[in-house]
Structure 1
Amino acid sequence: MFSWALWDWGSAAFNTVILTFVFTVYLSDAVAGDPEAGSQALGVALTVAGVCIALVAPVSGQRSDAGGRRKRWLAVHTTLVVASTAGLFFVRDDPSYLLLGLVLVAVGSVFSEFATVNYNAMLLQVSTPATIGRVSGFGWGMGYFGGLIALVIVLVAFVQPQVGLFGVTAEDGLNIRVVALFAAVWFGVFALPLFFFVPEVPSAGEPQRTSVVGSYVLLGRRLARMWRDERRTLGFLVASAIYRDGLAAIFTFGGVIAAGTFGFSATEVVVFAITANLTAGVGAFLGGRADDRFGSKAVIVTALLGLVLVGGALLVLPGKAAFWMGGLVLAVFLGPTQSASRTFLARIATPGRESEVFGLYATTGRAVSFLGPLAFSGGIALFGTQRAGMGGIVLILLIGLLALLPVRAPERPA
């Protein structure tokens, strides 16, 4: 279980340092030159990545289940994320490098999602029915704390000092480019224990030499069976797709909003990120225990309601102090929402098809993944302010909450 959770600890370097608080801020500000135009370009790049994930994720998960190669494909996808992250070192603070940076971030996000499909499916391999909530919460908490430690190192060693570790300075954006190399090494090192100590999943017994086209045919039949016999699973996939896209938008554009709307400097963004990850990690641990006690649905509904209320308040409250207080409260609810969503699906998944179901989980999320970036970038385009984009994100969370309410909660073990 600890080796499994260390992968989450390592992957936080990509999700937190690259996608949320450091490198995307660098892309939209220093590289693009215009924060508004850079934010729109980032939204477009991540929308394209979402389409790729939606088309491939369920078939990738299905094939890894059928062939007993869940861990092998996790290794392949993890390696590709590490490679694309390291490639960001070559993105200088000049508009001519913006396209390269956007492509590498998009590629990294695609393979990060593919890896997460197999990683999430391993949850049932490292937990029991009675402890699945706290194990899932432990994994999310490890991810948040891993992000926290990585951000502290980044802040102290590269971002804050005039001359950082190894003589790194801000010339040509070198201090941020080195952060990308650090994130790649961090992920690669902490992913290794999973591959040594977590066993491979047994084959599900289906043909292992199915063509890619045949895999899509099998997927279509599986969806037809789910429509007949597993309506609850489909209902949850749709509802979670909506609100998880709102969560993804918070992670992706949080640092951009802090800098562009509330006037945070690059150092202040990282300091806030460190504090928010600490708060979110505690929330994930507590939410995991609440999950086992009260059920996944109760935790998700409570957390989403908190996100909508606090996010709505931030639309009108001015100043850095408001973002500090509201942002930390938001962080408390983020971890439980993500962790309980994973356990909700794991509890209702058909045994032996976990990767396939989590592939559908990724696909349904990415099928509407245009909503978050579109709401954010579209709000900016229509009204000329990032606050309008923030309002779009809050609306998506509210719609997801309303869609979840009719879905029947999974049965909990005695």
Structure 2
Amino acid sequence: MLRRLNPFRGLPNPLEVWAWGMYDLANQSFSILINTLFFAIYFTQHVAAHTGKADLYWGIAVSVSNLLVVIAGPVIGAVADYTGAKKQGLFFFYVLCVGFTGALGFVEPGAVLLGMLIYIGGNFSLACGENFLASFLPEISTRQNIGRISAIGWTMGYLGALLILPVTLLITGLDEITVDEFRRVFVLAAVWFLINAVPTFWFVKERKRREQAPQAGSLVAIGFSRLGQTARDAFRYRHLIRFLMCFFVYACGVHVVIYFAGIISMREFGFGPFKLTMFMTQLTVAAGLGAALTGVYQDRLGHRRTLHALLCVWAVSTLGVAFAPREPEHEWVFWVVSNFVGFGLGGIGTASRAMVGLLTPRHKTAEFFGLWGLAYKSAAVVGPVLFGAVSASPLGMRWALVMVSGFFVTGFVGLFIVDEREGSASADEAERLEASTFGPPPTEQPQRP
């Protein structure tokens, strides 16, 4: 029985897949404790509260960090593919993110500019590292199990969040959080990331060999040159491009949940620190379940069909949050509906990442996952800003959530023009042309049906 529950059962490279997933587990300390919960609250309530524009400054920091990723992400990915140095790139941004995360513990109340700069550096490093991590997925998987392995990583990420949230309560307690307690949480986030990501660098292998570099030109120029070639190859990978366009639209809604979940629960439903932590724990459990079930069924149902089902869950559940009663005696409605939001959050992440991997030839992994990161971070710039604008207007928070549901409906419709079979066949053809640039995969790559 226990053997059947082992998520790594039957994989040819279980240790490497586990080590790859450990990075997702490790970086949740930044995603949950910094982005969604404690630093956002600390910055708006303590660091920038005296300015009267705390939400604006927080929004600027979030947008700038994601804008930097939009600019740099594809170039970093192209350079990594050209040099065969994805693992080195991942390690570089891992060290940067750990450093910036720990430095947040030294941001004192009133230090607005310092807090913004450190956060921007940390969030930028986190996102660039995620791009490098995702680019290993087609190399450690086969076409038949890519959805399962993607789900393992995503589920381990939510497991990391589930493990670290109760630990933070040991620091903050159940009452109002003090400034010193906030800052200790940021140091905890850095230590958690530092320790738990170590297996990734021990056991994940770098398979792609360095390509012969031109006699002249910097790596940045080479990166831009490869991006230009990617644009010229757009017809061959047209289904990937179509998917990324759809992904951008519904990712706008996903980012609203990431950056506004705490704000919505506190402002609309009056949650204090303890309820907020319990709410995020529930959301994390539901997200982990969503990621795990997606991994089990995605390869059987098909990638597009799975995404359609998850987008339906998203659209209905965000409408549920929008029209849930705000009275304390009906608070249970919000708790119930939020389970579906969490389920959709976990499922949509692993399903989208697996779809990109399915449509990507292995010699373009870092570059195309850089494009995936570009679409995702572009959505992080656009979605939260639109949500904030509508929420601040006479329409209010409720109709802003209706708009978010519209993002998911639009993505649902757009996916009908994405043909996963034709797209994966194009990736196979490109791989055959570039086969000489790769070492042997974990197992022989079976042909697609």
Residue 373 (structure 2) pairs with residue 362 (structure 1): yes
- Aligned pair in 2 of structure 1 residues 98, 258: CA closer, same or farther (>3 Å)? farther
Who is 2:226 aligned against? Answer: 218
In structure 2, distance between residues paired with 1:102 and 1:395: 31
In structure 2, distance between residues paired with 1:313 and 1:299: 21
Residue 265 (structure 2) pairs with residue 266 (structure 1): no
Residue 115 (structure 2) pairs with residue 101 (structure 1): yes
Amino acid across the alignment from 1:339: T
Look up the SS of the partner of 1:269 in the other structure: helix
Q: Which moved more, 1:27-36 or 1:291-300?
A: 27-36
- Aligned pair in 2 of structure 1 residues 369, 280: CA closer, same or farther (>3 Å)? closer
Residue among 16, 37, 43 paired with 2:32: 16
Who is 2:287 aligned against? Answer: 280
Structure-2-length-normalised TM-score: 0.84
Residue 206 (structure 2) pairs with residue 200 (structure 1): yes
In structure 1, distance between residues paired with 2:112 and 2:395: 22
Query: Alpha-carbon deviations, 1:299-325, whole Å to 9, x = none?
Result: 111111111111012112123323211
Listed as ranges, the matches of 1:291-306 within 5 Å are: 291-306=298-313
In structure 1, distance between residues paired with 2:151 and 2:164: 20
Q: Which moved more, 1:317-326 or 1:187-196?
A: 317-326
Conserved? CA contact 2:101–2:186, under 8 Å = yes
Residue 157 (structure 2) pairs with residue 184 (structure 1): no
Residue among 314, 317, 323 paired with 1:307: 314
In structure 1, distance between residues paired with 2:395 and 2:241: 37
Amino acid across the alignment from 2:142: T
Q: CA deviation at 1:280?
A: 1.0
In structure 1, distance between residues paired with 2:96 and 2:240: 31
Unaligned runs of 5+ in 2: 1-16, 425-446
Unaligned runs of 5+ in 1: 163-168
Residue among 40, 43, 47 paired with 2:56: 40
Who is 1:403 aligned against? Answer: 414
Query: Alpha-carbon deviations, 1:248-300, whole Å to 9, x = none?
Result: 22111111211122111112111111121112111111111111111111111
Query: Alpha-carbon deviations, 1:133-191, whole Å to 9, x = none?
Result: 11111110000010011011002x112256xxxxxx944x1111110100011011111
Report which of the two structures shows the higher radius of gyration computed on alpha carbons.
Answer: 2
- Aligned pair in 2 of structure 1 residues 59, 192: CA closer, same or farther (>3 Å)? same
Residue 189 (structure 2) pairs with residue 153 (structure 1): no
In structure 1, distance between residues paired with 2:165 and 2:419: 39
Query: Alpha-carbon deviations, 1:72-128, whole Å to 9, x = none?
Result: 000001111111111111223x3x223332332222221111111110011123222
Conserved? CA contact 1:204–1:353, under 8 Å = no
Look up the SS of the partner of 2:380 in the other structure: coil
Conserved? CA contact 1:82–1:185, under 8 Å = yes
In structure 1, distance between residues paired with 2:212 and 2:260: 41
Query: Alpha-carbon deviations, 1:170-217, whole Å to 9, x = none?
Result: 44x111111010001101111110101111132252527643134213
- Aligned pair in 2 of structure 1 residues 384, 37: CA closer, same or farther (>3 Å)? farther
Amino acid across the alignment from 2:199: P
Who is 1:373 aligned against? Answer: 384
In structure 2, distance between residues paired with 1:271 and 1:334: 17
In structure 1, distance between residues paired with 2:145 and 2:405: 32
In structure 2, distance between residues paired with 1:238 and 1:271: 35
Amino acid across the alignment from 2:173: Q
Who is 1:91 aligned against? Answer: 107
Look up the SS of the partner of 1:229 in the other structure: coil
In structure 1, distance between residues paired with 2:96 and 2:396: 35
Amino acid across the alignment from 1:298: R
In structure 2, distance between residues paired with 1:59 and 1:275: 37
Residue 154 (structure 2) pairs with residue 140 (structure 1): yes
Who is 2:6 aligned against? Answer: none
Give the aligned CA root-mean-square deviation in angstroms.
2.2
Query: Alpha-carbon deviations, 1:332-358, whole Å to 9, x = none?
Result: 111111101111111111221101000
Q: CA deviation at 1:68?
A: 1.1
Conserved? CA contact 2:318–2:341, under 8 Å = yes
Conserved? CA contact 2:294–2:347, under 8 Å = yes
Amino acid across the alignment from 1:186: W
Conserved? CA contact 2:47–2:112, under 8 Å = yes
Who is 2:11 aligned against? Answer: none
Conserved? CA contact 1:233–1:345, under 8 Å = yes
Look up the SS of the partner of 2:269 in the other structure: coil
Who is 1:166 aligned against? Answer: none
Who is 2:134 aligned against? Answer: 120
Conserved? CA contact 1:204–1:352, under 8 Å = no
Q: Which moved more, 1:14-23 or 1:175-184?
A: 14-23
In structure 1, distance between residues paired with 2:261 and 2:358: 31
Who is 1:72 aligned against? Answer: 88
Amino acid across the alignment from 1:158: I
- Aligned pair in 2 of structure 1 residues 35, 248: CA closer, same or farther (>3 Å)? farther
Residue 251 (structure 2) pairs with residue 244 (structure 1): yes
In structure 2, distance between residues paired with 1:105 and 1:377: 20
Residue 273 (structure 2) pairs with residue 257 (structure 1): no
Conserved? CA contact 1:22–1:266, under 8 Å = no
Conserved? CA contact 1:49–1:109, under 8 Å = yes
Listed as ranges, the matches of 1:348-359 within 5 Å are: 348-359=359-370
In structure 1, distance between residues paired with 2:113 and 2:376: 25
Query: Alpha-carbon deviations, 1:222-265, whole Å to 9, x = none?
Result: 21211x32211110111112212321221111112111221111
Who is 2:10 aligned against? Answer: none
In structure 2, distance between residues paired with 1:86 and 1:37: 25
